[in-house]
Structure 1
Amino acid sequence: MADPLLAFYGDDFTGSSAVMEVLSFAGIPTVMFLKPPSAEELAAFPGLAAMGIAGVARSRDPGWMEDNLPQAFAALAEFGAPIVHYKVCSTFDSSPSCGSIGKAIDIGAPILGGAWHPLIIGAPAIRRYQAFGNLFAGTDDGVYRLDRHPVMSRHPATPMDEADLRLHLSRQTDRRIGLVDLASLKTGQTDRMLANQIEDGAEIIPIDVVDDETLADAGRLLWNEGRGPVFAIGSQGVEYALVAHLRALGDLPATFEPPKLAAVDQIFCVSGSCSPINSAQITAAEAHGFEIIDLDATCAVDVAEWDKAVEQALQASLQALSARRDVLVATAREPDASTSPLKQAISRSGSSAAEVNDRIGAGLGRLVADIRSRTGLPRAVIAGGDTSGHAMTALGVTALSALAPLAPGAPLCQVHSQNEAIDGLEVTLKGGQMGSREFFIKAKTGL
């Protein structure tokens, strides 16, 4: 498959790598850049069928989006793919003032075109399901409607108090929102319902996905529209759906055997996530022998204090690594206890939360860069959706390519960088909700 198939912008880095994972491990050559690539940077990866730009829009306000997204969308359009995807988190967490998906659509639609905009969030492979417009997400304890989800309903930045994606999105855009619902998908009325929605003036049309059958049908609708320009919005469910349909057509092999994840002798991990799921993964890593180094995030309200804290974490990490320990540096081990002090420190300092979060992510990125340059350690983990973006920028990364599966939504990737000390580093970018309890352990030992 040599012709351009799809281009994407990820509103955070972990989500971007999840898109690359789905495409690459279906046999579709894909590379993800950290900024709109030059012609020379694209030429360094011949034979690409898909390319993406990893961004940080999920943690940004509408003003930032207006200043930054048009350039990114223009670069995606220049790639010449029939489908351009604005990738959002599979839990759709967003608000009118932070990571507004509606604002991104309003900016992208005039640039990228399309008669209507498919919205595909459901992805059974990562236990995300959409039924009659409502989003459900799975945890180790079961499947929850999003407004009752034990984590996302209490997200520190964008709590999800509405599971109906139409209602949630209507707070962020005035564009008319329709729905291709589960009943029409299961009774063969999909095309008629879609036509009726478009005739009624719907511009954004969510498509229910609960299983492989509805996933493939969503891919069919996307591909049929994709013969002309189409601007799609959604999770990596967009790619799962497209792959399912192309396999049904015989345009992709029914199976594709990706490389196996090998073990490494030692691993270095950093975590800026405050998710309870991530906290449990840190606890499991500690029980497995990882050295956990606590990095006080409240220090990040002051530049000098933060630099001092990061340097102390670096020295402690080097000492533990020299003792043959695996190391995990964490800014939040107990989420309920950690996020509140940080919020209070930000409030007292008068700093903006965005500025402090940028500083935390950049500090963790510097840690990874310093450890790599001083030890040559081959593999690292960066946990936290927003953290990953700032950390990868601090690392000086040009692009990432997928190496091997690790956990759905969090593949092992290879770093491409002009910095020889960083180039070739293996890294996985993990959202707080992603992976099993043994995630950090498996990142070292392989699958």
Structure 2
Amino acid sequence: MTPTTSRADPSPTRPRPRLPAWTATLTWKAAVFITVMCCALAALLGALVHVSVANQTVGQARDRALGRLDEATAAYEAGARLGPLAGIDPPGLPDSLRSLAAGGERGTMVSSRAKAPTMWAAGPINGNRVLAVEIDYSQGARTIDGLDRAIVGSSVLAIGATLLVGAFAVTRVTRRLHATARVARRISGGDLDARVGDPRTRNPARHQDEVAAVAGALDSMATSLQRKLLSEQRFTADVAHELRTPLTGLHAAAELLPPGRPTELVRDRVAALRTLTEDLLEISRLDARSERVDLDDNWLGPLTERVVRGSGTETEVVVVRDVCVLTDRRRLERVLGNLVANAHRHGSPPVVLTVDGPVITVRDHGEGYPDYLVEGGPQRFRTEGGTKGHGLGLTIALGQAKVLGASLRFSNAEDGGALATLTLPYDDHQP
């Protein structure tokens, strides 16, 4: 048999390690930036000071050594006795300096002799012989070492102080930014009374920084938005109130018409207008947040069956787990009735209402909710793609759910169909 070889599958690409979430904050980025800039500046200044002082110290020591070398050369030429730190071809002289002096040139060099820094100066004499002198360079080396330690210590202190001051300044800015972001989230959640109230924006003559400008713009936007919404709410309420009187007259007049198909059409349209008017009034009350709940204990199983019977639709009720919740029965029936009616009007059968503890779902098997409704919730009278809109039913259901303190979420089932999930507040200790 011919042997076969197999290649192992390459290991899956490992995801790149991600930094912790706190590293994305402005405070952390500012701290890193300040630290890097301080370290770079301290290193640059320290190097400049070190080079300057080292050159000065070495230059002074070199001048002293060359002066001693001149004195030793004069004494050698005069036949006088050389000093204790001068000699011809001394044993500790560095080889490179010895070679330089033997070549006919004078030079200096720092080296260690007996573990002590020494400055050598050497020059040529007769033949290949070298005259050299040495001086103690310990003081100069200690000066440079002390300077280096002082530079490092002062740099650390300066970096630490700069970090503290910078962190304090950045934290004040980020705290104001966080406060502005919290107010923006509150406004996005529907609290139009929320304001940043930055004290820097109260005096127009005072110079404002960028954070104050953003806070002021957000407050102005919230005020303008609140005014427009209040104007729309008042308009909706006024229109609904003004329509009730003529609609009542139309309804009474329609009842006096002789039987027939035209009369049925008129009565049907008048009834639709009355329903729309009542819905508008209910929405105006929900927008004004003037609704008050009447709480009582209610078992969800019988309540949902009563809602389905009242809707006159073929809706299947499935009770997985029945519980008793403290809620407003009338408002809960309103929410469920609107969900069931919407499922039959815009979906396809079968429509199933399921009770599983405090969670109630209403599902149809139609095309499902449109994307805009799933992502942003119901919008009044909106239509998309030329299809029939969802009217006010889901908007009222969502508003009444908020009054009850419940959560109403709209989604689409994986195998098709619209799915509305109502989660009621529930205490396990309730009966």
Q: Which has the higher contact order (CA 8 A, sep 6+)?
A: 1
Structure (1/2) with the larger helix percentage: 2
TM range (shorter): under 0.3
Give the TM-score, by structure 1 length.
0.21
TM-score, normalising length: structure 2: 0.22
Please tell me whether Structure 1 or Structure 2 has the larger radius of gyration of its CA atoms: 2
